[in-house]
Structure 1
Amino acid sequence: MSFEISPYKLAYSARLREVFLESRKLAFPWMDSEKFKLKDFDEVIKEEKVLVALKKGVPVGFIAWWPPASFIHSLFIDPNFIGQGIGKSLLEACLKQTSRPLTLKCLKANEAALKFYQKQGWVVEETGLSPDGAYFSLSFGRNIK
């Protein structure tokens, strides 16, 4: 593995704002990317637990979750580093710090993310509708005691 997982530090913010912006443009091409702003990152991680993937000390991805509900809100990887196991490693590190079941929502139109989560063992529980479109609610470890 040529990257490490680290707790979030304020010093990572500037780079993670860029990662969040660029990865959302790639993941959500049907959305108006002009509405995406660098400052969105700060809102997304507010009051969340955050782990960061670092490659040679530079942030290349992050996962953020709300511990009281064991709910993942964000998992984003720099588009230049997709497919290198970073998302899987961030998920595994998160799983070590959370209770079960762990849940998340994934927009139906984000087929690549949905395939990724299902490959990691996540199960679709239900569907819903948000301002950004239809989504699946997924869970991990629902049957683990």
Structure 2
Amino acid sequence: MININLITPYCNEHTEALRHVFLRSRRHAFYWVNSSEFQLGDFDQSIVGENLLVAVYQSRPVGFVSWWAPGNFIHNLFVDPDFHGQGIGTALLDSCLKVIGRPARLKCLTANQSAMDFYLRKKWTVVEKGDSSEGEFLLLSAND
């Protein structure tokens, strides 16, 4: 485990680094999708209208969580693949839940087994199943 220097609200200075985190993380996590479809600008589109927290390690943004506040819906949780397994995802998720409270919900693609395992270890429960253009997903809820 590394010592995360800071979980902080997103600001414009984080944008360029988080574009790269988002791109690298999706290429790593969504191995079944043609990664040439992923672009740096996808980050900007993905966070429109959302609130964000950023994990900073040694002055470098290494992960983020974003949510849509009216629905307590967590939309994105991504950590630079070089920092996986270091507790950053947990720190971001816990920090987000402290802000938005519970119940909270999120969707996770079933093919993303490492993410599914992560949320189930964190005691998120399956509410329903669905299909998207990227494959089957589960709607998960954190209630307690």
TM range (shorter): over 0.9
1: CA distance between counterparts of 2:103 and 2:44?
A: 26
Q: Residues 98-117 of structure 1, C-alpha deviation per residue, up to 9 Å, x if partnerless?
A: 13210000001001000000
Structure 2 residues without counterparts, runs of 5 or longer: none
Structure 1 residues without counterparts, runs of 5 or longer: none
Residue identity matched to 1:104: L
What corresponds to 2:117 in structure 1?
115
Q: Residues 36-77 of structure 1, C-alpha deviation per residue, up to 9 Å, x if partnerless?
A: 000000011111010000001100000000010000000000
Deviating beyond 4 angstroms after TM superposition, the runs of 4 or more aligned structure 1 residues are none
Q: Report the CA distance between 1:2 and its aligned residue.
A: 1.6
2: CA distance between counterparts of 1:97 and 1:24?
A: 25
SS in 2 for 1:138: strand
Q: Do residues 98 (structure 1) and 100 (structure 2) align?
A: yes
Provide the aligned C-alpha RMSD in A. Answer: 0.8
Count of residue correspondences: 142
Identity %, equivalent residues: 48
What corresponds to 1:139 in structure 2?
141
Q: Among residues 70, 73, 87, which one is paired with 1:71 in the alignment?
A: 73
2: CA distance between counterparts of 1:78 and 1:132?
A: 21
Q: How does 1:20-31 map to 2 (within 5 A)?
A: 20-31=22-33
Residue identity matched to 1:42: D
Q: TM-score, normalised by structure 2?
A: 0.96
